[in-house]
Amino acid sequence: MTISSTTPADAVSPAPSSPELIAAIDMGSNSFHMVVAQLVHNEIRPLEKLGEKVQLAAGLDERNFLDEASQHRALACLERFAQRISGMPRGAVQIVGTNALRVAKNARAFIRKAEKLIGHPISVISGREEARLIYLGVAHSLSDDADNRLVIDIGGGSTEFIIGQRFETKELESLHMGCVSYRDRFFGDGKITQLQFARAFVEASRELLNIRNRYRSVGWHHCVGSSGSIKAIEQVLAHNQWGTHKITPDGLVKLKDEVVRLGKISQLTKLGVRKDRLSIFPAGLAILMAAFDVLQIEEMEFCDGALREGLLYDMIGRIHHEDVRERTINSLQERYHIDREHAAAVEGTAIALWKQLAEQWKLPSEELTELLRWASRLHEVGLAISHTQFHKHGAYLIRYSDLAGFSRQTQQSLAMLIRVHRRKILDTVFDEYALEDADPLKQLAVALRLAVVLQHSRNGEVLDSIKVKANKRSLTLIFPKDWLQSRPLTCADLEAEKGLLTKFGIDMEFKEEDS
């Protein structure tokens, strides 16, 4: 087995202890945005904001592959961003991809090129994680309010709907409708007819019916819009005196009537629409009007806070040990009735082994340790479904659940570790990873498997006195004198694991210390 020192794309970066600067990049389906900020007394002081219309979603073909042109635009933008964040430490920069990269079948290959260019890991986040981060950015940009608020963010490929109170979310949803995808579906010929607009409005309304009753039941005191499409609509309404600092149903109807009357996207400059937003403006308007109609919104205010600001505040939480991912893990343990004492013993043993293995295998221990911790705490999550093949059930639960704070890549890796923590290891499990990503995960799997075997007795004792000697294709476990002799069942477990690891390409031996 080859040992790689390359960090997998979905490995968790360690949070910086006290960075002078932090940065967040949102690789959206329509635009890429970057904000660089200074952290002053736990508050964010933005220093620079950059944005470019990349329109990544426009490069998705009928098979959902990103074409070369869209990849070139994206990489060129990231190259410019890279110059600004050059020299910033790993962990001080958070980069996420949204809907276009969620659906692109060649996203992994593109991300590898992008990471090499920009020098920091890129995470693809789920729609609900995107919604959580958007709300976090909005909530920190508004005055504190004890009432429920509804936040809507129309992106290039999806639209997020969130109900929250102060800094906590109550409802999160991401619907598959965006200003770029709807432009291509309904306004691709550059014309704006009553029929075209009606079709876009009806389709968006159909999507919204899925959340209408639930959202109306929870309710909200006021509504907030964020990001480019809603900002553009708010500016045009103000420019034409159809609304002052508020978006209302009457203003939207007046705007729609004028948009349809002009009849062509190229004519929308007469309303004050910026040239870089012309092509997507009617689609964003149709989606917003559908939201007002279906959810019975009376008025909306615009807020500058968005996904990139949410990323910054999420990063601050990690720096100060208020990591939402830890809350998610604890919630999963509670929900699925995981034996926490046993999980803690497995975690302690796995980390003790991993520290030794990572040093000898020359792997970035700090960046992978959190992943191993989480896998240890959740390795028995599948028992909530069935004892038979519970490692497979657990992997499925983790891979396809909405886990707040986690990227899709990290969830995938976490699920994979749970999948291979027992029984036979199949190399095919790692086929979807590039070699440089798969090898460190295979090493984590070895540490987790050994910890599970050594904790088979479930007595809660953390085994941190075991020594490990390892090279690229073998490892030796060295136990205290007389330890193995007094534990014949553990010896039998280790013999069985030895055979399984041999088939996996690792030769394992175990012995006691010499007297």
Q: What is the mean pLDDT of residues 458-477?
A: 92
362 backbone φψ class: left, alpha, beta (φ>0; ψ -120 to 50): left
**Residue in 182, 174, 161 with CA at minimum distance from that of residue 57:** 182
pLDDT given at position 317: 84
d(C-alpha 121, C-alpha 27), whole Å: 13
What is the predicted pLDDT for the residue at 403?
92
Which percentage of the chain shows pLDDT scores above 70?
Answer: 96
Give 231-242 pLDDT, tens digit per residue: 999 999 999 999
Task: For helices 194-218 and 249-262, give the axis angle rounded to 10 degrees.
Answer: 160
Beta bridge partners of 174: 160
pLDDT given for residue 365 in this prediction: 65
- Amino acid identity, position 320: H
| Cβ-based neighbour number of residue 114 at 10 Å | 24
With helix as H, strand as E and coil as C, how does 175-219 read?
Answer: ECCCHHHHHHHHCCCCECCHHHHHHHHHHHHHHHHHHHHHHHHHC
Residue 514, pLDDT score: 82
User: Mean pLDDT, to the nearest integer, of 15-23?
Assistant: 68
Domain boundaries along the sequence of the chain: 21-125, 128-304, 323-512
Other residues' Cβ atoms within 10 Å of the Cβ of residue 466: 18
pLDDT in tens, 66-102: 999 999 999 999 999 999 999 999 889 999 999 999 9
Distance separating alpha carbons of residues 499 and 326, to the nearest angstrom:
35
Confidence of residue 4 (pLDDT cuts 50, 70, 90): very low
Structure confidence at residue 322 (pLDDT) = 77
pLDDT of residue 233: 97
With a pLDDT cut of 90, the percent of the chain lying above it is: 83
What is 21-125's CATH number?
A: 3.30.420.40
Mean pLDDT over 202-214 rounds to 97
d(CA 501, CA 446): 8
CATH match for 128-304 among 3.40.640.10, 2.40.170.20, 3.30.420.150, 3.30.70.270: 3.30.420.150
Residue 18: predicted pLDDT = 54
* pLDDT at residue 72, rounded to an integer: 97
250-275: average pLDDT: 97
Is it the case that residue 10 has pLDDT exceeding 60?
no
| pLDDT digit string, tens, across residues 366-425 | 779 999 999 999 999 999 999 999 999 999 999 999 999 999 999 999 999 999 999 998
Q: Does domain 323-512 have CATH number 1.10.3210.10?
A: yes
When the pLDDT of each residue in the chain is averaged and rounded to a whole number, the result is 92
Cα–Cα distance for residue pair 255/22, rounded to 1 Å: 39
**Where residue 515 falls among pLDDT bands split at 50, 70, 90?**
low
Note whether 21-125 and 323-512 share their fold: no
